[in-house]
Amino acid sequence: MPNNFSEARFSLLNLHQQLFDAGLVVWSGGNISQRVEGGFLIKPSGLMYPELTQDSMVYCDLDGNVLDGEFAPSSDTAAHAYVYKNMSEVGGVVHTHSNYACAFAAVKKPIPCVLTAIADEFGGEIPVGPFAEIGDDSIGRGVVQTLAGHRSKAVLMAQHGVFAIGQDAKSALKAAVMCEDAAKSSFLAIQLANTLGMRFARPKKLPRGVIDRLFNRYQNVYGQGPKPLT
């Protein structure tokens, strides 16, 4: 094979380890994929996280067909393929059933933009996508319909879980981690207000202008900036 994507395989293996260590997945659930030339690499179906290796990552085309791999690909492969095929800017996709985000997905409520960190990362609430059953590309269609043109890089698929996207698999993983963090803090704030009987102190959404300023600053200014050429 002319290119077995060894660098991408190594990176994808490490990101799966980070996904597991972050506590966003249990058993063999959840998956990450990374776009590569001619398609994408994705976690094999049903393998436990400690069993994953670089070579176990399955190479698929943009229709979800396996091009190379010892194992069957993730059962969510069709959804990943649909996203790559229809969102050319996406280079990585992460899927989880992380608990707090799933709680919002179960009741079909978006995660409200009540904290600056949510404005920074998502530029507003984290939206809910349609309910879709596994088996064809309907999950992928729901993800694309919800996230195309949206600032949020994560969607809560109704009564299912999180799909997060990014320019590569690492940034998609960041969105999945931040989504769970946002869900947890929002859930605790709502619970705290209820516990204290603060009927009029429920977490309030940040004003649109504040969200816009925070989002633009975080997306464009935050961090170390471009590294000087050496």
Site of interaction with Zn ion (CB under 5 A): 161
Q: From the CB of 79, what's the least distance to Zn ion, in Å?
A: 9
DSSP 126: B
Closer to Zn ion by CB, 73 or 161: give it. Answer: 161
Closer to Zn ion by CB, 39 or 161: give it. Answer: 161
Q: From the CB of 150, what's the least distance to Zn ion, in Å?
A: 20
Say how far apart CA 170 and CA 140 lie, in whole Å. 20
CB atoms near residue 18 (< 10 Å): 14
Q: From the CB of 129, what's the least distance to Zn ion, in Å?
A: 12
Q: From the CB of 4, what's the least distance to Zn ion, in Å?
A: 28
Closer to Zn ion by CB, 25 or 60: give it. Answer: 25
In three-state form (DSSP H/G/I as H, E/B as E, the rest C), the secondary structure along 32-79 is EEEEECCEEEECECCCCHHHCCHHHCEEECCCCCEEECCCCECCCHHH
Closer to Zn ion by CB, 124 or 161: give it. Answer: 161
Cα 95 to chain centroid distance, Å, stands at: 6
Q: Which residue is nearest to Zn ion (CB)?
A: 161
* Most distant CA pair in the chain, distance: 64
